[in-house]
Copies of this chain bind each other. A is one copy, B any other.
Amino acid sequence: MRAHLVPILLFLAPAPGSAEEADWYPAKYGAEDTLGAINELSPEGVVAAAKLVKTGRTFALGVETGRDTPAFGARSFELFAVANGDGSGETLGANRATFNDDWMLTWLGIGTQIDGLAHFGIDHVYYNGNRVQDFFAPTGVTKFATHELPPIVTRGVVLDVAGHRGVARLEAGQVISADELAAIAKRQGTPIGRGDVVVLHTGWQALAGSDPDAFLAGEPGLDVDGAAWLAARGVVAVGADTWGLDVLPNPDPEQVFPVHQELLTRHGIYILENLRTDELVAGGTAPFLFVLGQPRFVGAVQMVVNPVAIR
């Protein structure tokens, strides 16, 4: 079927006027760069991060993605197991082999996910000044696809925001500011450095199971200044145990997910959502070796992942 595509792009009207001049591109990694803050990764950083492994304890930072996982907007999920064969009980070979397969339909932004650089833009312009016309195709994006990312292996730092405030869970709409980030990092003795992955623990994820409507109706999170502070540190990715990282509702009611723009669009910094952080902070706030190998589905904007923290 793929061979029969009608070249409808030929019909496209002249592109609308190019995006107005902007101060946020070309990116600091070069006008042709498509990887963003992945450029901050380095072999030296990997070696240093591996030395953080002291006890050999591992943490799956991914939550389950299932039919009951609360999800943004219209995103939905189905998975089915399929017993091989025609149901008659047949087996294969003298060794009487039997097997099961499975398939799923899933939107790629359910549960723990990485947002690629094709996910979020400013007025249809994305990281490094790429207009959506430059990479969008209905069969998958042709630039910024998550299958093109190398593994993210680096130092991970968890900032225990809830612990810092002495609460089990922050409230929706509560802002995590630049000052608070700095204070937590100092208190924990975990300064944020170039190439780090930063993980925020707010306690919000506990609501996903107990009250999914409340979970989705808002969330505590970063404001733009907090995001800018992290960007200034040179981090590779920022994640949280919330579904959208941005504080919601935003203190400025006219702003919609501006932290996504600050990180993904302006700085090429990846976002991790719905991280599972409870066990991680129960084990303290020591930095850890962060390893993410995202499944490489061709053309994906986002991806459901399960990063591993190792201490």
Q: How far is the CB of A132 from chain B (nearest CB, A)?
A: 4
Segment of A158-166, A181-189, A228-236, A257-265 engaged in the interface with chain B: A257-265
Nearest CB of chain B from residue A67's CB, rounded to whole Å:
6
Nearest chain B CB to A134 CB, angstrom units: 9
Binary B-proximity of A242-278 (CB < 8 A = 1, otherwise 0): 0000000000101111101100000000000000000
Instruction: Name the interface residues of A23-81: CB closer than 8 Å to any CB of B.
Output: 42-47, 50-51, 53-81
Choose among B6, B53, B296 the residue that contacts A64 (Cβ–Cβ < 8 A).
Answer: B296
Nearest opposing residue in chain B for A68, CB measure: B1
Let me know if B306 and A294 touch, CB within 8 A: yes
Is A305 an interface position by the 8 A CB rule? yes
- Selected contact of A6 from candidates B72, B82, B84, B291, CB within 8 Å: B72
Cβ–Cβ contact B301 & A11, under 8 A:
no
A120 at the interface (CB under 8 A from B): yes
Contact indicator B255/A93 (Cβ below 8 Å): yes
**Whole-angstrom distance between the Cβ of A185 and the nearest chain B Cβ:** 24
Q: Check A308–B153 contact: CB distance below 8 A.
A: yes
Contact call B95/A258, Cβ cutoff below 8 A: yes
> Which partner residue on chain B sits nearest A80 by CB separation?
B138
Interface residues of A (CB under 8 A from B): 1-6, 8, 11-13, 15-16, 42-47, 50-51, 53-109, 111-112, 118-124, 131-133, 136-141, 147, 150-151, 153, 212-213, 215-217, 252, 254-258, 260-261, 289, 291-308, 310
Question: Could you write out 28 A-B pairs with CB less than 8 Å apart?
Answer: A4-B71, A5-B74, A13-B91, A13-B94, A13-B96, A43-B55, A50-B56, A58-B153, A64-B147, A64-B298, A66-B140, A74-B80, A80-B140, A81-B139, A81-B141, A82-B82, A91-B124, A93-B256, A97-B256, A98-B132, A99-B121, A100-B132, A103-B106, A103-B108, A104-B108, A111-B296, A291-B308, A293-B293
Apart from the given pairs A1-B75, A79-B139, A100-B136, 20 other A-B contacts in the complex at a CB distance below 8 Å: A1-B70, A4-B213, A16-B89, A50-B310, A60-B293, A65-B147, A79-B300, A81-B141, A83-B85, A83-B136, A84-B87, A87-B100, A88-B89, A88-B131, A97-B258, A98-B132, A102-B108, A103-B108, A104-B105, A151-B306
Pairs A-B, 7 closest by C-beta atoms: A89-B89, A83-B87, A43-B56, A66-B298, A93-B256, A46-B56, A50-B53
